[in-house]
Amino acid sequence: MQITDTAALVTGGASGLGGATAKALAAKGARVFALDLGGSIEKAETVEGVTYVEADVTDPEQVQAAVDTAAGSGVPLRTVVNCAGIGPSARILSKKGRHDLALYAKVIQINLIGTFNVLTIAAEAIAATEPLADDARGVIINTASIAAFDGQIGQVAYSSSKGGVVGLTLPAARDLSTSGIRVLTIAPGIVDTPMLATVSDEFRATLSAGIPFPKRLARPDEYAQLALSLIDHDYLNGEVVRMDGALRMAPR
Ligand SMILES: NC(=O)c1ccc[n+]([C@@H]2O[C@H](COP(=O)([O-])OP(=O)(O)OC[C@H]3O[C@@H](n4cnc5c(N)ncnc54)[C@H](O)[C@@H]3O)[C@@H](O)[C@H]2O)c1
């Protein structure tokens, strides 16, 4: 699908994978709306072609307003890339006691329900656009993680949320097939983004050493490159694509 002169909504678009994707889409001629929390938008760089819209992905009214902004921008909304997410870690049982149920619920709320909230509201807007060839109207790309498949110790909440994103990919693609909307999910390995900012250089080197090839962390622009490839390829639909340098994570 061509993205020139179309609108794109990128959640988590002020940082990391979303920030890189917003920039790459704008460089290809899309009118990009980067949805994020106010605190992240304040720290975000100014990028030509990218408009920041403040919203919480878990809030239907705020997401509706952001989608309305993108859909009403004068060019059709055809692309959504869901990157908003959090990645706290906690074990089921630890010295601090049982896993906090509220933390578990929060991770599911943002990573899974937030993704679904944006997907449904944006799908309604994309479904209202004029169809292209093959009755295609748009593409929605979600972000899972390889933790959906090989979650590590302390990732029970995160892996549950990302497993949910993997699980919704095929039925969402099937549901939205009658509207000409493709749904795909990227499952990244370890990407060097602000989410990893607290990791020491030593631990970063250990992480890199465990990756078969290339022996380094992925870069956010490599995620953006994959997102653009998936958008471009009209026959890819309902699939989860790992981007991990052949990494299969060990228990810890
Ligand atoms: N970095 C990695 O190694 C890695 C690996 C696999 C998957 N992922 C996933 O990729 C996505 C992006 O991660 P990142 O590394 O770019 O992290 P990041 O922290 O750099 O960016 C995440 C963005 O999401 C935003 N966000 C969080 N909660 C939100 C909410 N409720 N509403 C709106 N925006 C919200 C944050 O403000 C932030 O700007 C996440 O879903 C993450 O789980 C990251």
Q: Give the whole-angstrom CA distance, residue 10 versus residue 83.
A: 7
pLDDT at 100 over 90: yes
235 tagged catalytic? no
The confidence score (pLDDT) of residue 204 equals: 80
110 within ligand 1 shell (Cβ under 6 A): yes
- What's the 54 CA to ligand 1 centre distance in angstroms? 15
pTM for the full model?
Answer: 0.98
The confidence score (pLDDT) of residue 233 equals: 98
Across residues 111-134, what is the average pLDDT?
98
Nearest CA to ligand 1 atom 14: 16
151 within ligand 1 shell (Cβ under 6 A): no
**Which contiguous run of DSSP H or E holds residue 138?**
strand 138-143
Across residues 83-99, what is the average pLDDT?
97
End-to-end CA distance of the chain: 40
Across residues 81-105, what is the average pLDDT?
97
Nearest CA to ligand 1 atom 1: 191
142 within ligand 1 shell (Cβ under 6 A): no
Q: Give the whole-angstrom CA distance, residue 206 versus residue 103.
A: 28
- What's the 36 CA to ligand 1 centre distance in angstroms? 10
Q: Give me the amino acid identity at 221.
A: D
The confidence score (pLDDT) of residue 98 equals: 98
Per the CB < 8 A criterion, the answer to whether 75 and 4 are in contact is: no
Q: Strands 97-98, 93-94: parallel, antiparallel or unpaired by DSSP? A: antiparallel
Mean of per-residue pLDDT scores for the chain: 97
The confidence score (pLDDT) of residue 131 equals: 98
17 within ligand 1 shell (Cβ under 6 A): yes
Across residues 52-57, what is the average pLDDT?
98
- What's the 50 CA to ligand 1 centre distance in angstroms? 18
Kindly give, in sequence order, each residue whose CB lies less than 8 Å from that of residue 148, ignoring residues fewer than 6 positions away.
159, 162, 163, 165, 166, 187, 240
The confidence score (pLDDT) of residue 173 equals: 99
34 within ligand 1 shell (Cβ under 6 A): no
Whole-Å CA distances, 227 to 42, 82, 109, 245: 25, 11, 24, 16
- Tell me which CATH code domain 7-243 carries: 3.40.50.720
pLDDT at 107 over 90: yes
The confidence score (pLDDT) of residue 196 equals: 79
Nearest CA to ligand 1 atom 32: 56
pLDDT at 104 over 80: yes
Across residues 29-50, what is the average pLDDT?
98
The confidence score (pLDDT) of residue 194 equals: 86
The confidence score (pLDDT) of residue 133 equals: 96
pLDDT at 10 over 90: yes
131-155 pLDDT tens trace: 999 999 999 999 999 999 999 999 9
Across residues 99-107, what is the average pLDDT?
98
pLDDT at 38 over 90: yes
227 within ligand 1 shell (Cβ under 6 A): no
Domain boundaries, the chain: 7-243
191-238 pLDDT tens trace: 999 877 777 787 788 889 899 999 999 999 999 999 999 999 999 999
The confidence score (pLDDT) of residue 69 equals: 98
Token pair of 15, please? Answer: 């940082």
The catalytic residue among 52, 104, 158, 223 is 158
- What's the 20 CA to ligand 1 centre distance in angstroms? 12
The confidence score (pLDDT) of residue 201 equals: 81
Nearest CA to ligand 1 atom 26: 84
Across residues 63-76, what is the average pLDDT?
98
Across residues 77-83, what is the average pLDDT?
98
Nearest CA to ligand 1 atom 42: 85
- What's the 179 CA to ligand 1 centre distance in angstroms? 28
pLDDT at 178 over 80: yes
Atom of ligand 1 nearest to the CA of 110: 31
Nearest CA to ligand 1 atom 29: 84
